Amino acid sequence: MTVEELVAAVVALAIVAAKRLGAGLADRAVEGVEQSVADRLGRLYRWIVGRLPGEEGAALVEEAGRSSAAQAQLRRRLVLALGEDPVGVEELRMLLSPHALALLSEPSGIPRQLPSALADFTGRGQEVARLVEAAERPGGCRVCLVHGPGGIGKTSVVVQASHQLMQFFPDGQLFVDLNGAEERPVAVGEVLGDFLAALGTPPGRIPDDVAGRTRQFRTELADRRVLIVLDNAATEQQVGALTPGGSSCVVLITSRQALATLAADERVALPGLDEDAAWDLLRRISGPDRVDEDPEAGRAVVGLCSGLPLALRIAGARLATFPARTLGSLARDLANDHRRLDVLSLGERSVRAVFRAGYEALPSLQRRAFRLLSALDAPDLPTWALSPLLDVAADAADACLEGLLLAHLVQTRRGETDGQRIVLHDLARGFSKEMAAEQSVGEADSAVWRLLGALLSAADAADAQLRPAGARHSGRDGVFRRSPPEDAVAGDVWEAVHWFEAERAVLVAAVAHAHARGWWELCWEITDAMSIALEHQWRWDISRQVHGLALDAADQLGDGQARAALLRNLGEALRDGGDDLDGAAECFSEAIALFRGSGDGHGESDALGNLGILQRQQGALREAERTLTAAELRFRALPLERGLAWTLRERAVISRHHARYTQAHAQLDEAQALFAANEEIRGIGWILRTRADTEKESTTGGCPLPHRWYGGPWPGCPATSRPAQDPRWAAARTHYEDAAQVLHAVRDHRGHTWVTLGLADMALYEGDHTAAELIRRALQETDACGDHRGHSRALTLQALLLAEANRLSDAITLAEQALATLRDHAGAAQAGFRLARLYGAASRHQDVLRTLQQSRTHYHAADIPFPALADPELAKSLTHPVSRARRFRRHQ
């Protein structure tokens, strides 16, 4: 035994001596059996007192019988006293006879009922520390509750903490499983009888009634320090009778219920294990070699067990029991939704049984709620969804949810906004689906139908805040709707942005569910309602996915108006995603024809405007201007101010490309006034960004190169200007910064990224070292969101920056890559001129001429001004080394 262990033992024996030497030992000493033990205890007591100065030792021993803090202090003082006294250590070893040590575990009156602590215990250090710290606090009887779902490891945590606390409770430790998860929990009177017997109460002195046993139990513990573990408690009433009234005991309780009204000093809600702890537990149980040889499958098993220790233990036991079974095959079996709970059953241990016990203890409404929460295959649901699912009032749904939370069958998390969301982890979801399968199909169908009607109503309200052209088309109001709670409806554009981000996955699941059930109207109307939000979020892949289902639904209905609306949306996703521009043009053209045939002027003008945007983005500026002019006339005739404002913005972009800057500003002024009058915040952000583009380009005349790169003449600008001295340049920066704030606030990622591109371009012109960070950010954002046009433009800026850093070869490679991916005349014209300049810096004369010819072709195709110089003369002005900016030299 170490010195610390010797001291712990002698302190415990000293407390026994102080409390029982004159009673139990004296009785037995008469028989001549324990006299030597009594003598040794007396010697131990005197030995302790002699090691501490004055009367301090006797007082501290006496206090140690009442206070864990005094016990700890006594142990520390003795360890220090023995630190430089090897003779004293040997004396202590001789004094601690086997007979004396046996007193610490004698059956008469000092129970030691704790189960063994798990050898493979892992991942709960913080929770165990909280329990230990709470139990060591000075004060009255301390009650600590650990609650969580079945299989989460509550008992293991409490037993682990109890073993750390044993030394502070020399009068024993009581443990009982109250069977709270079973149909018939253990009777309180029976537990009290067992506890009294363990504490040494003679059978004849144990009362027959519960009240009498409770009084006797509290009397027995009044002057004792006992640790009591009440495992698997059912109710507050059950544990209340088993809680002593004195000030020297600690009660640790575990329960699947939160026992909300229990007067607990410490509450620990036990979550699932995090990935690292779950991984460690699986390795410990199955053997580290089994897991380490296939870490990918191991991570899959960990994820599919949802952090539930019971599931991980069963999975690990399967691997350990069946050595021929591979970890990969176990992962595949667990990935099968229909087999997962079967696999997580071995011998008497079963995850399904744990869930069933909790489920069957619920009232009928809560059982139905638990079944229905998995009916829509969404990762989570807003808490208000329970009301339409159950077809009950919001108050009743809230009370039902509270019951499910207290039973730990569901969880909640805080969402993007202030609201909470209901979460079922994968194992609970699997069991929920099993329970739903035992009911009629009609129960789930009716519930989801109501929920989708409420989702559609909420999506309508949010869409109305975001829809840029106002009322886009007619025909989307024919299907069932259910009014959601007021706090679930977006009241302005900010709330609409947050609402669509929070509910995106739920809406996608709703579209898929509606299509699978043949609810064609719900399928296409929900898709149409979320289309603008998907554009804002750059979720073009999701948009293509749901619109494919919705178009099939429209065709099933034979609804031409629905098809027109969906084609318009799909065209936008294909255009902005950049991977099928021809398909986008076909979608817009068919949508225009269908809208026109049905007399839907709103839809026709909106589709025309979007076709014009596509043509403008392709650099077909003359064709785009004709299309946008037609859209403008229709918007003015309707009138539809928001649609007109967006069209004017597009026309201003074309005016800027054609160097008609005064006209561009006039168009932007009118558009901004319309957006302001209609409180279209996002539109104002785009106007600010376009105004900044216009001011920036009017300062440079549209020249794609800084003055230090190209000093030759440019149309409308006899020599490329030095922008820092021009007030328009400062105005551009201010407008970019204002636009960035607005577009970030409304979560318009695409608009915000193009602002970043504009600021990066300005920084490059100025020779500012911040260009590198801005370009890096623009590349990252455009790559993440699949904006091919924006990414190519960012690459051309990066190429110029590399050349400034004496990496000309890398710069040329990057600029060639950018030009190859650009499919619009305006972008290719600018990128080609920049590449020609890089070739010139490398003295690659033939490449300069070839690329200049290509650039000139794109400039003319887009009707953008280009220097009126012969190619050889223009090539000569581009063929000289790059002069680095002073500010770059200072910061790089």
Q: Any idea how long the chain is?
A: 892
Rounded distance between C-alpha atoms, residue 151 and residue 802, angstroms: 58
Q: What is the pLDDT of residue 69?
A: 62
Beta carbons within 8 Å of 212's beta carbon, 6+ residues apart: none
Lowest mean pLDDT among 24-38, 536-550, 662-676, 743-757: 24-38
Whole-number percent of the chain with pLDDT over 90? 59
Q: Are 64 and 74 in contact (CB under 8 A)?
A: yes
At 297, list the tokens.
Answer: 């499958």
Helices (H), 701-807: 727-745, 749-766, 770-785, 788-804
- Of 71 and 731, the structure prediction assigns the larger pLDDT to 731
H, E, C per residue of 81-149? HHCCCHHHHHHHHHHCCHHHHHHHHCCCCCCECCCCCCCCCCCCHHHHHHHHHHHHCCCCCEEEEEECC
**Average confidence (pLDDT) over 461-480:** 74
Beta carbons within 8 Å of 858's beta carbon, 6+ residues apart: 619, 825, 826, 828, 829, 832
At 474, list the tokens.
Answer: 């007619």
Per-chain mean pLDDT for the chain: 87
At 92, list the tokens.
Answer: 């202590």
In 317-448, the DSSP E strands lie at: 345-346, 349-350, 380-382, 411-414, 420-423
Do the strands 266-269 and 142-147 form a parallel or antiparallel pair, or are they unpaired?
A: parallel
| pLDDT exceeds cutoff 90 at 13 | no
pLDDT 10s digits, 262-276: 989 999 999 999 999
Q: Helix, strand, or coil here: 18?
A: helix
The pTM for the full model equals 0.76
Rounded distance between C-alpha atoms, residue 350 and residue 327, angstroms: 20
pLDDT 10s digits, 620-676: 999 999 999 999 999 999 988 989 999 999 999 999 999 999 999 999 999 999 999
pLDDT 10s digits, 183-236: 788 999 999 999 999 998 888 889 999 999 999 999 989 888 999 999 999 999
- Of 93 and 382, the structure prediction assigns the larger pLDDT to 382
Whole-number percent of the chain with pLDDT over 70? 88
DSSP letters for 24-35 = IIHHHHHTTSSH
In this structure, the dihedral spanned by the alpha carbons of residues 398, 401, 402 and 407, taken in order and rounded to 10 degrees, is: 170
Q: Are 858 and 828 in contact (CB under 8 A)?
A: yes
